Amino acid sequence: MSWQKVLSTILHPVVMPTIGILTYFIITPNHISITKQLHLFLTVFVTTYLFPMLLLIFLKITGKIKSFEVLTIKERKIPLLLMTCVFLFLGKFFHQHTVINDLSYLFYGTLLGLISVYFIFFFKIKTSLHLLSIGSALGFFVILQLIYNISLLPLIIIFMLLAGFLAAARLDLKAHTPKEVYLGFLIGFSCQLITYYTL
């Protein structure tokens, strides 16, 4: 397997929320037990990884999608619509947890990004969901700096480098055009900031 496919798999959109919440628990000062953290981690993992994977398998079996890559706009509509529901649920779920309600920005921001992507489908424009998800994660960690008044510069640099490598991988695999890659990242990053400043 090429490095492009390995990186695309590791940083797949369904994996990024799990990476995001795990990183959040590592870097932020929180006052909840390890057991509670594990419960929250599993909630995110099941809803944003296991559920989408099962959904894709179902859509493949029923012939709604031709491959797990969901390459066309038409094939992306159903999974994207269902994922907006998942992220809406998670945004509300974390917003109710007073101690860690800042996690709701990650999910509400990504939700806004997914809605934006769905809206531009009507203009026959496709975006990279890989870059949207890593852009969203990057935007979230920028927000955490503001919330906790801490420097996350090393982490931000790592995510920026990963975003660059991921963009190159998606282009090398001919999964997206440069416009789709840049647009995905821009939507993901900016929607986090919009969410933070409007909620």
The pTM assigned to this predicted structure is: 0.93
Q: Is the pLDDT of residue 68 over 80?
A: no
SS (H, E, C) the chain: CCHHHHHHHHCCCCCHHHHHHHHHHHHCCCCCCHHHHHHHHHHHHHHHHHHHHHHHHHHHHCCCCCCCCCCCHHHHHHHHHHHHHHHHHHHHHHHCCHHHHHHHHHHHHHHHHHHHHHHHHCCCCCCCHHHHHHHHHHHHHHHHHHHHCCCCHHHHHHHHHHHHHHHHHHHHCCCCCHHHHHHHHHHHHHHHHHHHHHC
In the chain, domain spans: 3-198
Q: What is the mean pLDDT of residues 56-83?
A: 86
Q: Is the pLDDT of residue 146 over 80?
A: yes
In whole numbers, what is the pLDDT of the chain averaged over residues?
A: 93
pLDDT given at position 140? 97
pLDDT in tens, 85-109: 999 999 999 999 878 899 999 999 9
